[in-house]
């Protein structure tokens, strides 16, 4: 008996040692990290093949915030999930990083915005892989730098195409991902799964299109030209795909690394999508009419031209989740933005002592700027701005956040020092940046397809889907990106697709069924072989808001996990 | 008669350069014509003798050299170089006028209008200057060595202003100024020439000539621009964005120049005469290469390349435009868009007015 106990004890000890060794090994090699990735000033241009009207631009120097969370185990063998929110101009830190993906999260059971502290996440994605959260340029903790930083006009000029357009934004993310991978050789050739929310859909499709067709973004064939980026991607592929050393790597090979995208309520072909949303919302009996009936104020599109105004201001519902009162989801983003301004919370969520990050300190950011107007006023944005979608996203939300931005709650000033008036430690959404995407955008004004409503992005998305496995959420209560009409909006690309089917019944015994079947035309893309059909996983989240990971975290986690396994990604 | 022939023979026997032998033979043709004329006149022996004596006298005073200086005008069309103008005009229209029409048609803006000052100009004339020294083999025939310089520049300051009314009611005022927008070409042409002439009434001399030589030519496209986008609302107005730039492409090459024409000259005092020439000049360089430079917003790039005609298809949301333009910029794979080599063609009809001095 004693011998048996001894054997069992030894086994336990050995097992324990083994597990401990394993844990220590992975912790020693790949640690959690948080900090800034430097992006030098980048010169790029937009062109339609002519020197005439070619728009050459140079960005500000940037420090892009990232937070890396190593997988719970076997991190070197696990994929890298790259998370970002949208806006454009919105932070990932107060978005996906705070909403049931990393080890700590806001509490979705507390309706006022998630409570006064972060809680452990029961469905942390670190069980599936390594997580990399990135705040876009000038959003969240990321900040730009420039020489004439105290000059209003110089700052104002930087909030334009040279720092804010869909292509350069995607290029920023590629640079951060590739540089992060280069700094972590253990992960350098691991599969990368892109997870983008909302405008993050446009960011994902642009990022993937550049990665899959990188040579054309440096040789004059594409509208956006960034030669340095094209070379940086080639250098990365030279390491990851050595058999193609110095050659242009074809997309079907590249997808061995960048072959999976998870899109949460995304903008993809958003120009067509908005058209379909408008048609659907104005259809008698639509969800908007139902909301009107619920609150006893009939909806009439002739009276309420701006549907978001009706839902939010008249019916008092949150367009991000129309079963909840106005600002319900903004409450979570706003609350995360407040909590993350405390170094203790930020250190908890990132698992890094953020006081050790030198670029956080005011002394290291003498050339930093986040906004052009030090009062963060919105006088330059006319009330008469015509696009209801942008208006909803911009003016209203900006006013909601403005006072809290000015006050800079938290302890960062005490810990890191007092910033200059045009700098901020954190901006949940940088509306100066957002405005630059939509309005103060010389590339857009000069006729380049840089706005995410442009059909170019839908075509790029459909081209990516030929190679990239795709998962898109279909949240029932989200009116901002109303995904119920997403299949119809993709079907508008009649030059590429013969037909689009939305299959709502389970095909594989899924608990939350849904697939979009795209039937490509044989002439869909020049020089492309016969494509046939592609299937997009499109599960319905019937209780969900725009931020699906917040409202149905477990279901979302389960579906993603199953889908990744189906598609050959090692996550166990 | 003997004297005459001896005299003539003496002139011919003088050590004329051999290379002019062929030209001399060619000169016999018009001389034959002159001889026929003299034969007609020989019916009167007295008259004939008098003319012969006068000619003999004049030959004894024969001045063999003549210096000529001239200036004038060439009506030309360097069509490949001028492609810049058509191309830039079409691009301007495509990226502004057509684009704004599209924005209006698709309900993205309310309306637009424009003001334009000046226009891009093609090169259509040039102003040659030159000179030559003629060596007279006889009263009627001369050979020359000369030099011609032709230069042409079309430069203008252009300004386009576009006013677009946004759906919000704001105005976007875009202004693009090209100052200067210029095309230029010049050539240095050393020439050898062959001239035949005949005296007409009242001391007027009619001459035909053929000159030719290598042509060392240069061309240049230079455009310096400033773009400004101003936003204007009910009570505000500010520059939203501005930038500047310049594009310069230079080319040079060697070709052939031939000039065939005629002239009349009229003596003014002693050995001085004025003349008016009309000719057609073939002046073509078939291979041009040179340096280029582009500046945009303070950043500059330079390159060297051979000029060619590039085809370009610009496809934007509001349409497509196919066009051709000359360039010496061939980055990466764009060589495949080359339609043909660039030809600097400065040929054309010329009128020249000049002054000659014979000694």
Give pLDDT tens digits for A15-58.
333 333 333 334 447 899 999 999 999 999 998 877 777 898 99
Q: Are A222 and A182 in contact, with CB atoms under 8 Å apart?
A: no
Average pLDDT over every residue of A4-16: 41
Q: What does each C-alpha distance from A384 to A377, A524, B166, B234 come to in angstroms?
A: 16, 40, 10, 11
| Banded pLDDT at A398 (limits 50, 70, 90) | low
The shortest CB-CB distance from A219 to any of B167, B174, B332 is to B332
Q: Are B138 and B199 in contact, with CB atoms under 8 Å apart?
A: no
Q: Check residue A529 and give its pLDDT.
A: 78
A 394-433 residues inside an 8 A Cβ radius of B: none
Q: Which residues of A touch B88 (CB under 8 A)?
A: 52
Whether A434 has a pLDDT exceeding 90, the answer reads no
Q: Check residue A402 and give its pLDDT.
A: 61
Q: Which residues of A touch B315 (CB under 8 A)?
A: 48
Block residue for tokens 């046939």: A532
Average pLDDT over every residue of A525-529: 79
DSSP state letter for B158 = E
| Banded pLDDT at A501 (limits 50, 70, 90) | very high
Average pLDDT over every residue of A362-368: 97
Of B143, B211, B223, nearest to B178 by C-alpha is B223
CB contact under 8 A, B318 and A447: yes
Average pLDDT over every residue of A81-92: 94
Q: How far is B333 from chain A (nearest CA, A)?
A: 7
Q: Which residue of B has its CA nearest to A48?
A: B314
Q: Which long-range contacts (CB under 8 A, 24 or more apart) does B199-206 make?
A: B199/B139, B200/B264, B202/B266, B203/B266, B203/B267, B204/B264, B204/B265, B204/B266, B205/B264, B205/B265, B205/B266, B205/B273, B206/B262, B206/B263, B206/B264
Q: Is A469 on the interface with B (CB under 8 A)?
A: no
Q: Check residue A393 and give its pLDDT.
A: 64
Cα A315 from chain centre:
29
Whether A260 has a pLDDT exceeding 60, the answer reads yes
Average pLDDT over every residue of B55-63: 62
Block residue for tokens 């698992």: A351
Helix, strand, coil percentages (3-state) for chain A, rounded to 5, are 40, 15, 45
Q: Helices H, strands E: what count in chain B?
A: 5, 16
Q: What does each C-alpha distance from B189 to A487, B75, B131, B346 come to in angstroms?
A: 70, 17, 11, 12
B147 vs A406, higher pLDDT = B147
Whether A406 has a pLDDT exceeding 80, the answer reads no
First to last CA, chain B: 28
Average pLDDT over every residue of A263-278: 96
Q: Is A305 on the interface with B (CB under 8 A)?
A: no
Of B169, B163, B167, B166, nearest to B234 by C-alpha is B169
Q: Check residue A386 and give its pLDDT.
A: 61
Q: Check residue B317 and give its pLDDT.
A: 86
Q: How many residues does chain B have?
A: 359
- pLDDT > 90: percent of chain B: 66
| Banded pLDDT at B168 (limits 50, 70, 90) | confident
Block residue for tokens 């302890």: A411
Which segments within B233-271 are labelled E, that is strand? 237-269
Cis ω before B180 (30° cut-off from 0): yes
Q: Check residue A389 and give its pLDDT.
A: 67
CB contact under 8 A, A449 and B316: yes
Which two three-digit tokens encode residue B172? 């976007």
Burial class (CB in 10 A: 0-12, 13-18, 19+), A435: buried
Q: How far is A402 from chain B (nearest CA, A)?
A: 22
- pLDDT > 70: percent of chain A: 89
Average pLDDT over every residue of B264-270: 90
Q: Check residue B331 and give its pLDDT.
A: 75
User: Among B175, B176, B241, B329, which would you mutate to test the A interface (most chain A Cβ atoms within 10 Å of its Cβ)?
Assistant: B241
Q: Check residue A385 and give its pLDDT.
A: 63
What is the residue-averaged pLDDT of chain A?
90
Between A166-183 and A227-240, two packed helices, what is the crossing angle to 10 degrees? Answer: 30
At B37 the three-state DSSP class reads helix
Whether A227 has a pLDDT exceeding 80, the answer reads yes
Rounded distance between C-alpha atoms, residue B169 and residue B171, angstroms: 7
Q: Which residues of B touch A218 (CB under 8 A)?
A: 332
| Residue A379 backbone phi and psi in degrees, to 5 | -60, -25
| Banded pLDDT at B51 (limits 50, 70, 90) | low
Rounded distance between C-alpha atoms, residue A156 and residue A440, angstroms: 10
Rounded distance between C-alpha atoms, residue A460 and residue A206, angstroms: 7
The shortest CB-CB distance from B316 to any of A48, A54, A384 is to A48
Relative to beta strand B129-136, strand A192-197 is unpaired
Rounded distance between C-alpha atoms, residue A256 and residue A190, angstroms: 9
Rounded-to-10 torsion of CA A523, A526, A530, A535? -90
Q: Is A442 on the interface with B (CB under 8 A)?
A: yes
* Backbone Cα Rg of chain A: 24
A145 vs B47, higher pLDDT = A145
Q: Render pLDDT for B172-219 as a digit per residue (tens, 0 to 9).
A: 999 999 999 999 999 999 999 999 999 888 789 999 999 999 999 999
Q: Check residue A29 and give its pLDDT.
A: 75
Q: Check residue A508 and give its pLDDT.
A: 79
Angle at B109 between CA B108 and CA B110, to 5 degrees: 135
Of A196, A233, A197, nearest to A214 by C-alpha is A233
Q: Are A371 and A430 in contact, with CB atoms under 8 Å apart?
A: yes
Dihedral sign from CA coordinates of A244, A245, A251, A255? positive
Q: What does each C-alpha distance from A459 to A205, A462, A490 come to in angstroms?
A: 10, 5, 9
Q: Which residue of A has its CA nearest to B98?
A: A447
Average pLDDT over every residue of B157-182: 94
Whether A520 has a pLDDT exceeding 70, the answer reads yes
Query: How many other C-beta atoms can be found within 10 angstroms of the C-beta atom of residue B171?
Result: 16
Q: Which residues of B touch A219 (CB under 8 A)?
A: 331-333
Q: Which residue of B has its CA nearest to A216?
A: B333
Q: How far is B259 from chain A (nearest CA, A)?
A: 37
Q: Render pLDDT for A291-320 as a digit per residue (tens, 0 to 9).
A: 999 999 999 999 998 899 999 999 999 999
Q: Check residue A5 and give its pLDDT.
A: 47
Which two three-digit tokens encode residue A395? 């003016």
Q: Render pLDDT for B300-337 as a digit per residue (tens, 0 to 9).
A: 889 999 999 998 888 888 999 999 999 998 876 566 77
User: Among A271, A372, A386, which would you mutate to test the B interface (most chain B Cβ atoms within 10 Å of its Cβ)?
Assistant: A386
Which two three-digit tokens encode residue A92? 């990932």
Of B316, B78, B74, B96, nearest to B217 by C-alpha is B78
Question: Is B62-168+182-223+246-358 a domain of CATH 2.40.160.70?
Answer: yes
Of A135, A16, A124, A142, nearest to A70 by C-alpha is A124
Rounded distance between C-alpha atoms, residue B58 and residue B358, angstroms: 14
Give Cβ neighbours of residue A8 (< 8 Å, ≥ 6 apart): none
CB contact under 8 A, A454 and B317: yes
What is the residue-averaged pLDDT of chain B?
84
Cis ω before A309 (30° cut-off from 0): no
Rounded distance between C-alpha atoms, residue A74 and residue A94, angstroms: 28
User: Among A49, A155, A223, A272, which would you mutate to test the B interface (most chain B Cβ atoms within 10 Å of its Cβ)?
Assistant: A49
Q: Check residue B312 and give its pLDDT.
A: 85
Give Cβ neighbours of residue A329 (< 8 Å, ≥ 6 apart): A318, A320, A321, A545, A546, A547, A550
Whether B8 has a pLDDT exceeding 70, the answer reads no
Query: How many other C-beta atoms can be found within 10 angstroms of the C-beta atom of residue A289?
Result: 17
Rounded distance between C-alpha atoms, residue A288 and residue A311, angstroms: 7
Least confident of A97-101, A209-213, A374-378: A374-378
Average pLDDT over every residue of A538-562: 97
The shortest CB-CB distance from B247 to any of A51, A382, A455 is to A51
Q: Render pLDDT for B228-254 as a digit per residue (tens, 0 to 9).
A: 999 988 878 889 899 999 999 999 999
Between A and B, how many CB-CB pairs are < 8 A?
80
Q: How far is B303 from chain A (nearest CA, A)?
A: 14
CB contact under 8 A, B247 and A440: no
Q: Is A454 on the interface with B (CB under 8 A)?
A: yes
Whether A173 has a pLDDT exceeding 90, the answer reads yes
Rounded distance between C-alpha atoms, residue B216 and residue B62, angstroms: 36
Q: Which residues of A touch B233 (CB under 8 A)?
A: 382
Rounded-to-10 torsion of CA A90, A93, A98, A103? 150
Average pLDDT over every residue of B7-28: 38
Q: Are A71 and A390 in contact, with CB atoms under 8 Å apart?
A: no
Which two three-digit tokens encode residue A264? 């949460």
The shortest CB-CB distance from B297 to any of A50, A58, A382 is to A58
At B174 the three-state DSSP class reads strand
């Amino acid at each position: 008996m004693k011998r048996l106990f001894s054997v069992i004890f030894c086994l336990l000890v050995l097992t324990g040692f083994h597990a401990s060794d394993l844990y220590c090994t992975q912790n020693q090699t790949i640690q959690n990290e948080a900090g800034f990735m430097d992006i030098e000033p980048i010169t790029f241009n937009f062109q339609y093949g002519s020197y005439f009207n070619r728009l050459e631009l140079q960005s500000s120097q940037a420090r892009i915030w990232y937070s890396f969370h190593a997988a719970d185990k076997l991190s070197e063998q696990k994929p890298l999930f790259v998370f970002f929110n949208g806006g454009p101009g919105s932070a990932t830190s107060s978005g996906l990083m705070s909403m049931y993906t990393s080890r700590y999260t806001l509490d979705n059971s507390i309706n006022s915005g998630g409570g006064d502290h972060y809680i452990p996440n029961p469905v942390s994605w670190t069980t599936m892989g390594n997580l990399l959260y990135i705040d876009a340029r000038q959003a969240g903790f990321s900040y730009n730098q420039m020489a004439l930083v105290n000059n209003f006009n110089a700052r104002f000029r930087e909030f334009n195409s040279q720092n804010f357009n869909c292509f350069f934004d995607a290029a920023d993310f590629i640079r951060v991902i590739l540089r992060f991978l280069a700094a972590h050789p253990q992960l350098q050739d691991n599969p990368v799964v892109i997870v983008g929310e909302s405008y993050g859909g446009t960011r994902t499709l642009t990022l993937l299109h550049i990665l899959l067709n990188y040579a054309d973004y440096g040789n004059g064939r594409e509208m956006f030209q960034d030669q340095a980026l094209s070379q940086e991607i080639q250098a990365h592929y030279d390491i990851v795909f050595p058999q193609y050393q110095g050659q242009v790597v074809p997309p079907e090979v590249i997808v061995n690394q960048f072959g999976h995208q998870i899109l949460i309520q995304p903008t993809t072909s958003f120009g067509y999508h908005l058209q379909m949303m408008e048609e659907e919302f104005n259809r008698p009996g639509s969800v908007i009419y139902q909301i009107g009936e619920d609150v006893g104020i009939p909806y009439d599109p002739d009276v309420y031209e701006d549907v978001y105004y009706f839902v939010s201001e008249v019916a008092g519902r949150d367009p991000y989740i129309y079963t909840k009162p106005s600002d319900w989801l903004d409450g979570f983003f706003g609350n995360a933005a407040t909590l993350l301004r405390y170094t203790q919370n930020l250190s908890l969520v990132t698992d890094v002592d953020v006081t050790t990050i030198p670029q956080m300190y005011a002394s290291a950011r003498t050339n930093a700027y986040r906004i052009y107007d030090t009062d963060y006023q919105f006088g330059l944005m006319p009330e008469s701005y015509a696009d209801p979608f942008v208006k909803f996203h911009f003016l209203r939300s900006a006013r909601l956040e403005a006072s809290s931005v000015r006050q800079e709650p938290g302890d960062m000033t005490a810990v890191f020092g007092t910033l200059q008036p045009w700098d901020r430690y954190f901006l949940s959404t940088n509306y100066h940046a957002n405005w630059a995407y939509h309005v103060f955008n010389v590339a857009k004004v000069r006729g380049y397809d840089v706005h995410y409503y442009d059909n170019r992005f839908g075509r790029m998305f459909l081209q990516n889907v030929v190679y990239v496995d795709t998962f898109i959420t279909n949240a029932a209560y989200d009116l901002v990106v109303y995904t119920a009409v997403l299949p119809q909006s993709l079907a508008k690309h009649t030059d590429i697709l013969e037909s689009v089917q939305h299959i709502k019944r389970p095909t594989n015994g899924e608990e939350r069924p849904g697939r979009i079947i795209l039937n490509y035309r044989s002439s869909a893309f020049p020089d492309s072989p016969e494509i046939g059909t592609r299937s997009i996983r499109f599960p319905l989240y019937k209780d969900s808001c725009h931020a699906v990971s917040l409202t149905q975290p477990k279901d979302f986690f389960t579906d993603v996990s199953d889908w990744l396994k189906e598609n050959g990604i090692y996550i166990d | 008669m003997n004297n005459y022939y001896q005299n003539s023979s003496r002139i011919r026997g003088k050590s004329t350069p051999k290379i002019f032998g062929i030209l001399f033979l060619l000169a016999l043709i018009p001389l034959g014509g002159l001889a026929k004329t003299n034969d007609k006149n020989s019916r009167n022996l007295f008259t004939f003798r008098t003319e012969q004596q006068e000619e003999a006298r004049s030959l004894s005073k024969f001045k063999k050299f003549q210096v000529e200086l001239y200036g004038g005008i060439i009506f030309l069309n360097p069509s490949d170089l001028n492609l810049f103008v058509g191309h830039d005009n079409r691009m301007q229209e495509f990226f502004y006028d057509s684009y704004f029409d599209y924005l209006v048609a698709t309900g993205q803006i309310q309306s637009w209008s424009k003001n334009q000052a000046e226009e891009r100009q093609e090169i259509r004339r040039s102003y040659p200057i030159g000179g030559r020294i003629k060596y007279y083999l006889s009263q009627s025939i001369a050979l020359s060595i000369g030099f011609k310089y032709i230069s042409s520049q079309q430069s203008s300051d252009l300004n386009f202003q576009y006013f677009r009314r946004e759906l919000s009611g704001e105005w976007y005022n875009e202004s693009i100024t090209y100052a200067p927008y210029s095309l230029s070409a010049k050539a240095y042409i050393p020439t050898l020439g062959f001239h035949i002439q005949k005296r007409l009434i009242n001391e007027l001399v009619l001459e035909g000539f053929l000159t030719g030589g290598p042509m060392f030519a240069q061309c240049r496209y230079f455009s310096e621009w400033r773009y400004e986008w101003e936003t204007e609302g009910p009570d505000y107005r500010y520059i939203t964005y501005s930038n500047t730039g310049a594009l310069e492409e230079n080319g040079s090459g060697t070709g052939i120049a031939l000039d065939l024409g005629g002239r009349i000259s009229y003596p003014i005092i002693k050995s001085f005469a004025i003349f008016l020439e009309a000719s057609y000049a073939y002046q073509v360089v078939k291979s041009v290469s040179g340096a280029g430079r582009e500046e945009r917003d303070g950043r500059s790039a330079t390159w060297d390349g051979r000029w060619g005609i590039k085809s370009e298809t610009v496809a934007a949301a509001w349409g497509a435009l196919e066009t051709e333009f000359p360039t010496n910029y061939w980055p990466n794979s764009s060589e495949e868009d080359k339609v043909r080599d660039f030809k600097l063609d400065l040929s054309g009809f010329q009128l020249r007015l000049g002054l000659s001095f014979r000694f």
